[in-house]
Chains A and B, each alone.
Chain A
């Protein structure tokens, strides 16, 4: 009885979290933006499977901690892709809450719009590097 209720709780929790994560990415428009950049709408189905497999693998890795014993070069590749995704989510979030249009309306600077994004990018990259390199931040 205990085990059955545990299974029910785990299953419903996982369903809710999984649906929530997917809904978040859809609402932010990250996936649609990626598809739009590469013009690869044909592979929509494959992307869904990829998201599913990705969340499943990371859950398994996180809970059971298995490993595949590869060289350190793979860390660079996975790190790069992790960063790209986080960068896209972060800019999608900033876009949803209208940070940049709000700033530009008060300062009238249409022409320099892309300077702002360069500032944003440099800030994110340097901030992130500082977080990892400076001692005592974590």
Chain B
């Protein structure tokens, strides 16, 4: 490989505030044995505050060239990488305030979803439908009956639990439930937006 250094940038990198980010954290490196350690241990970012930093391939070329003068740097794949620095406490969520927030949000969802299901039943004339089904099965006239409406109400709870996969299931390997996928997509959207904004700003300057 002579003095060629190949880089393949990773897509997203996360780092804690105060931690140094080395070149090996943000890219796969391939180069000759005698310089590989030196290249990998180049410090890309240090002492960064919370937020998103974008590093372009050109910056890395400059950095590598100043450390190893005769190096020829080649990039494979992406030409920029964003590094998301976050504070240590952010992902922990172990304090009481986060529990309180969760409790409040649960209360909001509890009341809201209860109201929504009532609205829904009134909106679609659910008692009439239940009456029709009652007559269809038993042959008697009745508009709305506890025989059907109470199991129905329990069924709604079961349905939601099934949908979000929170019922215990030991046999089969779990696929990620829709809520996890939804959270992932939502966070990714926000990250992409913030990264693009940071990049735009750095290009304007």
A2 within 8 A of B: no
Q: Which of A65, A79, A126, A129 counts the most chain B CB atoms within 10 A?
A: A79
A39 CB, nearest partner CB in chain B, Å = 6
- Interface contacts (Cβ under 8 Å), in number, total 258
Question: Does chain B have a CB within 8 A of A109?
Answer: yes
B1 on interface, CB distance cutoff 8 Å? no
The reply on A56 being an interface residue by CB < 8 A is no
Given the known A-B contacts A84-B162, A95-B179, are A90 and B98 also in contact in the complex, defined by CB atoms under 8 Å? no
1/0 per residue A111-137: CB within 8 Å of B? Answer: 111111111111111111111110001
Q: What residue in chain B is nearest A74 (Cβ atoms)?
A: B137
Task: State which of B35-43, B51-59, B114-122, B194-202 sits at the interface with chain A.
Answer: B114-122
What chain B residues lie within 8 Å of A3 (beta carbons)?
Answer: none
Given contacts A112-B98, A128-B121, contact A83 B114 (CB under 8 A): no
Asked if A78 contacts B158 (CB within 8 A), the reply is: no
B106-127 with Cβ < 8 A to chain A: 106-118, 120-122, 126-127
A61 touches B150 (CB 8 A): no
Size band of the interface chain A makes with B: 35 or more
Contact: A117 with B160, CB < 8 Å?
A: yes
Asked whether, in the complex, the Cβ of A128 is within 8 Å of the Cβ of B117, the reply is: yes
Q: Which of B92-140 contact A (CB under 8 A)?
A: 93-94, 98-99, 101-118, 120-122, 126-127, 132-139
B129 to chain A, nearest CB (A): 8
How far in angstroms is the closest Cβ of chain B from A17? 15
- The distance in angstroms between the C-alpha atoms of A69 and B138, with both chains bound, is 4
- Number of B residues contacting the other chain (C-beta, 8 Å)? 70
* Beta-carbon contacts under 8 Å, B28-80 to A: none
- 26 A-B residue pairs with Cβ-Cβ distance under 8 Å, sorted by A, are A30-B163, A67-B139, A69-B138, A69-B139, A71-B138, A74-B137, A76-B151, A77-B151, A79-B148, A79-B155, A84-B159, A85-B159, A87-B159, A87-B162, A87-B163, A88-B163, A90-B117, A91-B163, A95-B178, A100-B179, A124-B113, A124-B114, A125-B156, A132-B127, A138-B121, A138-B127
Known A-B contacts: A61-B132, A67-B136, A68-B139. Give 17 more (CB < 8 A): A36-B175, A75-B148, A79-B152, A87-B161, A90-B120, A90-B159, A100-B109, A100-B182, A101-B179, A108-B101, A109-B98, A113-B179, A113-B183, A124-B160, A128-B118, A128-B153, A129-B153
Residues of A within 8 A of B (CB): 29-30, 33-34, 36-37, 39, 61-62, 65-72, 74-92, 94-95, 98, 100-105, 107-133, 137-138
